[in-house]
């Protein structure tokens, strides 16, 4: 069966990705800061402690899994980076942390695992982006989060070009507005409406999809 590696796997969308792939019989490497939340999930699930911005730990995990093929690398971990967006109250600490987790960490993880993915059968690198990262759909507020996801989008587009020769499919996904700790209770979608749809979407990705920015239902988002 194929193998998936998921970051931010202890709650929210990440936890349901683990359950969905495990139920399909995949080998799942579930990475979380607190992997105890992953205990008791049935299937071929391997929990790894991972703070995504600890790049020594990222590289150590890549070395530990050196013998493995990873069909789907799923960069899911993210933070909301809420900050006051009124000029005069911009918080540089929030900006640096938001970019570290949402933008730089997925790239460092892609760098560490590129050969694991390239030697697999499916060869897919996915990053959870957001509609809020679309410049074409820009609205007010959430500067740090929006900018971190816009930068993630640009970087994933670049990876799709640079990794085409290795046959790696690079796609950014918007999960919808989903009822998680980040999305809040007012969100329009349940986790059950979002994650299985994304798993089906990822299943169907072809090389010609590389470099796309897709909604959970497969529709295209403008950059």
Ligand X SMILES: NC(=O)c1ccc[n+]([C@@H]2O[C@H](COP(=O)([O-])OP(=O)(O)OC[C@H]3O[C@@H](n4cnc5c(N)ncnc54)[C@H](OP(=O)(O)O)[C@@H]3O)[C@@H](O)[C@H]2O)c1
Judged by CB under 6 A, the chain residues 180 through 199 that form the site for ligand X are: 180-183, 187
CB of 28 to ligand X, least distance (A): 15
209 lies in the binding site for ligand X (CB under 6 A): no
Cα-Cα-Cα-Cα torsion 10, 12, 13, 15, nearest 10 degrees, comes to 30
Judged by CB under 6 A, the chain residues 24 through 53 that form the site for ligand X are: 33-34, 51-53
Count of residues touching ligand X (by CB under 6 A)? 28
CB of 42 to ligand X, least distance (A): 20
175 lies in the binding site for ligand X (CB under 6 A): yes
Backbone φ and ψ for 14, nearest 5 degrees, come out as -60, -45
- How big is the CA angle at 178 (ends 177 and 181), to the nearest 5 degrees? 120
66 token code pair:
């050196």
81 lies in the binding site for ligand X (CB under 6 A): no
90-120 per-residue burial string, b: 16 or more CB within 10 A, e: under 16: eeeebbebbbbbbbbbbbbbbebbbebbbeb
Binding-site ranges for ligand X (CB under 6 A): 7-8, 10-14, 33-34, 51-53, 76-79, 101, 128, 130, 174-175, 177-178, 180-183, 187
């Amino acid at each position: 069966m194929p193998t998936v590696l998921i970051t931010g796997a202890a709650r929210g969308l990440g936890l349901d990705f683990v359950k969905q792939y495990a139920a399909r019989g995949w080998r799942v490497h579930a990475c979380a800061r607190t992997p105890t939340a992953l205990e008791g999930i049935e299937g071929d699930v391997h929990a790894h402690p991972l703070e995504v911005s600890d790049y020594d730990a990222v590289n150590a995990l890549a070395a530990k899994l050196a013998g493995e093929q990873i069909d789907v690398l799923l960069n899911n971990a993210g933070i909301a980076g809420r900050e006051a967006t009124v000029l005069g109250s911009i918080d540089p600490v929030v900006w640096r942390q938001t970019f570290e987790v949402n933008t730089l960490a997925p790239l460092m993880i892609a760098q560490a695992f590129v050969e694991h993915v390239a030697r697999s059968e499916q060869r897919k690198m996915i990053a959870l982006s957001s509609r809020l990262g679309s410049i074409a759909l820009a609205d007010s507020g959430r500067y740090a989060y929006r900018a971190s996801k816009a930068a993630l989008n640009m970087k994933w587009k670049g990876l799709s070009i640079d990794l085409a020769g290795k046959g790696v499919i690079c796609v950014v996904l918007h999960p919808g507005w989903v009822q998680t700790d980040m999305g809040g209770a007012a969100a329009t979608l349940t986790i059950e409406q979002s994650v299985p749809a994304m798993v089906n979407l990822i299943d169907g990705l072809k090389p010609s999809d590389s470099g796309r920015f897709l909604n959970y239902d497969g529709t295209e988002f403008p950059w």
